[in-house]
Amino acid sequence: MAIVAGESSAGAVQERRPPEGGRRDRLRLRRGDGPRRVPWVWILPGLVVAVAIQFYPVLSGSYYAFTSWSGIGPSHWVGLKNFSAIFSNSQALGPLVHTLELGFAFVIIANVLGLALAVGLGNALRTRNFLRALFFAPVVLTPLATSYIWAYIFQYTGPLNNVLSALGLGSLQQAWLGSPTWALWTILVVLVWQNAGLSMVIYLAGLQAIPSELDEAAAVDGASAAYRFRRVTLPMLMPAILINLTLTMIYALRVFDQILALTNGGPFGASDTLATAVWKQTFVNDNYGYGAALALLLTVMVLLIAAAQWGLVGWFNRRASA
């Protein structure tokens, strides 16, 4: 039986599952194995290194969000002024909207495409191993290298426009990375191309965990393929969906080196996201305090959306098992 990764954060998912023997045993074991229990001291190395390298530096760095620090020299406490500046400044709204647009579009497309590829490349295909490697290849490419390839493709004199004019669609030619309308979506294309393979592999593993007898039984009962997918495959796939949603969402909201390399957030901010705005404010514009406040805001957003995702998956699961 397939069970969830990341279910840690979505206990509800499992709560509603029909109790199984294994689970009862586990509970009993946890309560009652006395002196032979796993010693707490085992968590020390992991906890210490995470606190020393991540939690402590980030927390002490977060202090700057409440200062007017330029990024160098002494800093002055300003309380919540940076946060109120963010919310009162309509310019900060652009990156926020772009982050959400890019984030949602990426999560949906990467997952739908990843799932479609995984289903399409099921066990029956003779070329499946080759094709899987092919779709996975962009995942291992350095993000910067990916950006260079695509920057070349999207150049005004580049391959994409060449193809368009060869197809007689010359009127569609444009400066993709320099277009206020298209810049953000060219970035989306690059992100999807690079990451759909990762989603695919996680879905593949999830699909392989589904016992084929289940699907066959439903087929024998005369259920349509669409019905089987919705009522059998999808609910069984929830764990993989949850991992994928979490990983793609965190990735999409925080990605910035590809954006900097492709458009630098331009033209005129048309593809600036919160992550690129944080980079620019902290390291380019001498507004470290403001940038730090933006970064904290982004963190809150990531946590809220993650919680919403986990809640949604839990709700879906309960409905499916009802």
Of 47 and 108, which has the nearer Cβ to another protein?
Answer: 47
Of 105 and 266, which has the nearer Cβ to another protein?
Answer: 266
128-137 CB burial, b ≥16 within 10 A, e <16 = eeeebeebbe
CB of 118 to another protein, least distance (A): 10
Cross-strand partners of 67: 77
Tokens of 286: 């001498």
Of 89 and 315, which has the nearer Cβ to another protein?
Answer: 89
CB of 17 to another protein, least distance (A): 11
Tokens of 314: 């839990």
Of 108 and 129, which has the nearer Cβ to another protein?
Answer: 129
Of 109 and 302, which has the nearer Cβ to another protein?
Answer: 302
| Residues in CB range of 67: below 8 A, 6 or more apart | 75, 76, 77, 78, 289
Taken in order 208, 111, 113, 192, the sign of the CA dihedral is: negative
CB of 50 to another protein, least distance (A): 4
Spatial distance between the Cα atoms of 147 and 155, rounded to a whole number of angstroms? 12
Taken in order 61, 65, 69, 75, the sign of the CA dihedral is: negative
Of 40 and 168, which has the nearer Cβ to another protein?
Answer: 40
Taken in order 286, 184, 156, 110, the sign of the CA dihedral is: positive
Q: For residue 8, what is the DSSP state?
A: G
Strand spans (E) along the chain: none
CB of 226 to another protein, least distance (A): 15
CB of 230 to another protein, least distance (A): 18
Of 48 and 108, which has the nearer Cβ to another protein?
Answer: 48
Spatial distance between the Cα atoms of 302 and 180, rounded to a whole number of angstroms? 26
Of 174 and 312, which has the nearer Cβ to another protein?
Answer: 174
CB of 94 to another protein, least distance (A): 10
DSSP secondary structure of 72-122: SS---B-TTHHHHHHHH-GGGHHHHHHHHHHHHHHHHHHHHHHHHHHHHT-
CB of 208 to another protein, least distance (A): 6
* Placement of tokens 């997952």 in the chain: 111
CB of 97 to another protein, least distance (A): 15
